[in-house]
Amino acid sequence: MSDERARLGDMDPQDFRREAHRVVDWIADYMSSVDLYPVLSRVQPGQIKAALPAEAPERGEPFERMFSDFERILMPGITHWNHPGFFAYFSITGSAPGVLADMLSSALNVQAMLWRTSPSATELEEVAVAWLRRLMGLPDSFEGVIYDTASVSTLHALAAAREAAVPDVRALGLAQRPDVPRLRVYCSEHAHSSIDKAVILLGMGHEALRRIDCDDEFRMIPDALAAAIAQDTSNGWLPVAVVATVGTTSTTSVDPVEDIQEICEEHGLWLHVDAAYAGVAAMIPGYEWILEGAGKADSLVVNPHKWLFTPFDLSVLYCRRMDLIRQAFALVPDYLETVEAAPVRNLMDTGVQLGRRFRSLKLWMVLRHFGANGIRKRLVEHMRLAQLFARWVDASADFIRVAPVPFSVVCFRADADDALNERLLDAVNAGGEVFLSHTRLQDRFTLRLAIGNLRTTEAHVARAWAILQETSLQLRAPVSQ
Amino acid sequence: MSDERARLGDMDPQDFRREAHRVVDWIADYMSSVDLYPVLSRVQPGQIKAALPAEAPERGEPFERMFSDFERILMPGITHWNHPGFFAYFSITGSAPGVLADMLSSALNVQAMLWRTSPSATELEEVAVAWLRRLMGLPDSFEGVIYDTASVSTLHALAAAREAAVPDVRALGLAQRPDVPRLRVYCSEHAHSSIDKAVILLGMGHEALRRIDCDDEFRMIPDALAAAIAQDTSNGWLPVAVVATVGTTSTTSVDPVEDIQEICEEHGLWLHVDAAYAGVAAMIPGYEWILEGAGKADSLVVNPHKWLFTPFDLSVLYCRRMDLIRQAFALVPDYLETVEAAPVRNLMDTGVQLGRRFRSLKLWMVLRHFGANGIRKRLVEHMRLAQLFARWVDASADFIRVAPVPFSVVCFRADADDALNERLLDAVNAGGEVFLSHTRLQDRFTLRLAIGNLRTTEAHVARAWAILQETSLQLRAPVSQ
């Protein structure tokens, strides 16, 4: 019997223990030496796939062999998001306490669809999102729920907005309804592509999304929003929701949420605040203004996996009207009906995904490990580094800063044409020490330096600046014939 | 400088090393002794929340303290999905090789939105889903993509079906379009609630979902489907898609996919196969029939986190027309435009979620650790145990089996009224050794015993049966006055 169990069960626990200790040592070494890898992977398209067999093995293999392939084949194809020279997109951190928590989540393998399948996961989620809500200064009237990504959080927010605006939309949908005009959702021209994907998915159509002009600091112009709403209304559209962004993806600009909120209130529109990246900064004294007006919003998304040191994926949606999300999605088949000793929250009722991973554990451990004070200090340090870099750019004759720096991202370009800036970015990234990404601002190719990894120090930012300057000089130098 | 780094950086790597070794020992102990815990948590609603402070700590805390709270406060609130006595819902396994892979994923913290941000994650996903596809005998014309849950996989499948059926739906949506009739999606009365949620989200309305009658073995009746399509068409509805289920949630019944496929082909309807639980069984000789006809489907979902020993969450959507999913959702903002040396796959183009966790690593390590042969043997063993339990039920005068047992789930009831069966389930689950769930079949409260955890042996199934018999006897015994 025990032979058969061993043969047909899971990996032997003693083998797991040995291999897991090996993996832990590898991870600890990796955390201490991630800066020795090229931050941006240098493999060619197709190289990883070509190195792997086309069929699963017929017989099981020892872990050593898989781990050896992981190191030999897969590691060269890793772009190191935990590298101190990762300055692309939004720079993030899979912090050590978060990794420890994730190890426990994986081992417990809790599936948090119902309270009874996961009392701790369900209630710790409530506690952890309440902690974060208070740190950010949001009112307790916001109920929070954890999803995987901001795309899914925003999707649920706009589904709730649709539920609020269109009678019986859950039952009847949108087609063949003379009583339902075409719907409109508003955001700035700098808002995130997840909003486009949400309106498409929700059956409103991409044309439902009207992008509002920004001022010269990339912030939505409230008067333009009001005018668009008036125009649409008189043309028979039904305005449904506005998405204001606190920390846009290109420049981290902050829309004037308070003004936008007043317009929403006047017209009865759902206000969703996309604070996925920058929302956490509201916990810093002096930065409360970024969420002014957001306390009266209907929903707000913030991603601890962005600038709160939590391993990917963990997004929090706060909603003052979670009843509408439940109204839109709660649906209990016979096989999931449960009766508990007291009313409970079943996470499956707050969204499309039935199953939920035990994600709150990592948010809770990250918040406790660093403490509110420790998190504030780290965010402040990232902003200090960004300001420092911005000053270097400003002081340089060869570079131009292209946008204000409210948080930890700097947008800039070499004072040259787009082609040179593109070559500059490619050359800098090819070096392996740093990885920056780009955007387009005022229709010009623009470089972005984003700070958000806990390993990034002033020395790394200075090195990035040195590499940019040197490479720019090399590219501008007259080519010797 | 190094002082400042230490103060403002991540947890010290040596501290991480020490704590992670401790966590690994805890996990290895847990894996060896999970059967000592009560499988279903015994905490009361609100108990976990009440034991935790309402505010995040201002100062950071040592890991020992968090870990001690984890053991003392959270562990009693864990329902043990990895317990050999977990027979509820679909029984799953977070296997050791999967946990090892997840540890590496968490540490690397790769975000796989673009090929360049994750060459190994992107290409390993292609390889791992191809391995699984071939094991299941599906044609190579199915492109696979990994999502978090079957709910999200099915949502994308039905979004693609909408894209195929409704001209310009991406741009124009569904409202105020005289050219777009009300849409219809078909599934059996035993299909999963994720289909309901998908049609609601997609703006089709819940009424768009028409549930087709089943035969007495809980399988969709193809003639009833054909009749419904004919009736709807003549009444002005636009049939769009059919969802056939291979392994329904209540009874694991298998819809006649081949017959349904022929109907779909005749009417030009999208066929989505929900094989989330049972699809993996197709890799066993003698079980190829369960996916007969599925090779001609448009899409199919299978969840390695269900019956393929992969830690939650990992769902695979196979689609023969992934171009339609890309057509529906691909959207590249300036800040995500990249040019590579050769054409690449960017995972963000195949769905709503921009960010993706490095999930393929755990599927790859699970497949390699057990090997195709090892997986087949384990699935066969689970089915053997289910058949054994079914025979015990059949031989008993006190219990009635309510449905066929094609895989590893047995539906049965005590030969008594619903009230006694409900009390029986509660009493059995309160004992702590086993956890079963229920459903309703033929409008009667029905118990379900689901096998799917690698730790479950014949002894555990026999113990479940003994507990059920004893408890049933106790409940039926005349109460002494």
Tens digit of pLDDT for each residue in B167-190?
999 999 999 999 999 999 999 999
* pLDDT beyond 80 at A479: no
Q: How far is A458 from chain B (nearest CA, A)?
A: 9
* pLDDT beyond 70 at A315: yes
The one-letter code for the residue type at B64 is E
The closest alpha carbon to B439, from A415, A405, A216, A332, belongs to: A332
The closest alpha carbon to A181, from A234, A224, A230, A226, belongs to: A234
Per-residue model confidence as pLDDT tens digits over A201-218: 999 999 999 999 999 999
Instruction: Write out residues 385-414 of B within 8 Å (CB-CB) of A.
Output: none
Q: Are the C-beta atoms of residues A98 and A283 closer than 8 Å to each other?
A: no
- Alpha-carbon distance of A89 to B309, in angstroms, equals 34
Q: Are the C-beta atoms of residues B16 and A94 closer than 8 Å to each other?
A: no
Backbone phi, psi, residue A276, to 5°: -55, -45
Per-residue model confidence as pLDDT tens digits over A132-169: 999 999 999 999 999 999 999 999 999 999 999 999 99
CA dihedral (B147, B410, B464, B30) in degrees, to 10, reads -10
User: How many alpha carbons lie under 13 Å from residue A22 in its C-beta half-sphere?
Assistant: 15
Non-local (6+) Cβ contacts of B339 within 8 A are none
A30 touches chain B (CB under 8 A): yes
**Measured between CB atoms, which of B10, B97, B102 is closest to A93?**
B10
B203 vs A contacts (CB less than 8 Å): 162, 169, 173-175, 202-204
The closest alpha carbon to B157, from B197, B111, B206, belongs to: B197
Tokens 């043997």, residue located: B377
For residue A137, give Cα distances in angstroms to A242, A285, A290.
Answer: 22, 11, 11
Structure token pair of residue B303: 């969840």
| Minimum mean pLDDT range among A408-412, A434-438, B349-353, B410-414 | B349-353
B66/A368 CB distance under 8 A = yes
In degrees, rounded to 5, the angle at the alpha carbon of residue B225 between the alpha carbons of residues B219 and B227 is: 140
* pLDDT beyond 90 at A338: no
Minimal-distance CA residue of chain B relative to A313: B357
- Alpha-carbon distance of A14 to A16, in angstroms, equals 5
DSSP A429-468: HHTSS-EEEEEEETTEEEEEEE---TT--HHHHHHHHHHH
What is the rounded average pLDDT of the residues A278-306? 98
- Alpha-carbon distance of A382 to A281, in angstroms, equals 11
**Measured between CB atoms, which of B155, B342, B455 is closest to A352?**
B155
DSSP A318-332: EETTHHHHHHHH---
Angle between helix A150-165 and A193-201 (nearest 10): 50
Non-local (6+) Cβ contacts of A459 within 8 A are B1
Number of residues in chain B? 481
Query: What is residue A1's predicted lDDT score, i.e. its pLDDT?
Result: 43
Does the pTM surpass 0.95? The reply is yes
DSSP, res A290: G
B21/A21 CB distance under 8 A = yes
A80/B108 CB distance under 8 A = yes
The mean predicted confidence, pLDDT, of chain A is 96
Structure token pair of residue A63: 């872990």
- Alpha-carbon distance of B267 to B283, in angstroms, equals 30
Using pLDDT thresholds of 50, 70 and 90, give the confidence band for residue A3: low
Using omega within 30 degrees of 0 as the cis cutoff, is the peptide bond preceding A313 cis? Answer: yes
The pLDDT tens digits along chain B (481 residues) read: 445 555 789 999 999 999 999 999 999 999 999 999 999 999 999 999 999 999 999 999 999 999 999 999 999 999 999 999 999 999 999 999 999 999 999 999 999 999 999 999 999 999 999 999 999 999 999 999 999 999 999 999 999 999 999 999 999 999 999 999 999 999 999 999 999 999 999 999 999 999 999 999 999 999 999 999 999 999 999 999 999 999 999 999 999 999 999 999 999 999 999 999 999 999 999 999 999 999 999 999 999 999 999 999 999 999 999 999 999 988 888 888 888 889 999 999 999 999 999 999 999 999 999 999 999 999 999 999 999 999 999 999 999 999 999 999 999 999 999 999 999 999 999 999 999 999 999 999 999 999 999 999 999 999 999 999 999 999 988 765 4
Tokens 């100062």, residue located: B59
- Alpha-carbon distance of B245 to B186, in angstroms, equals 11
Using pLDDT thresholds of 50, 70 and 90, give the confidence band for residue A411: very high
Tokens 């349904």, residue located: B260
* A-B C-beta contacts closer than 8 Å: 564
The one-letter code for the residue type at A213 is D
What is the rounded average pLDDT of the residues A64-69? 97
The one-letter code for the residue type at A391 is R
A94 touches chain B (CB under 8 A): yes
Query: What is residue B1's predicted lDDT score, i.e. its pLDDT?
Result: 42
Backbone phi, psi, residue A390, to 5°: -60, -40
Q: Are the C-beta atoms of residues A451 and A385 closer than 8 Å to each other?
A: yes
Mapped onto helix, strand or coil, the DSSP state of residue A167 is coil
Query: What is residue B4's predicted lDDT score, i.e. its pLDDT?
Result: 55
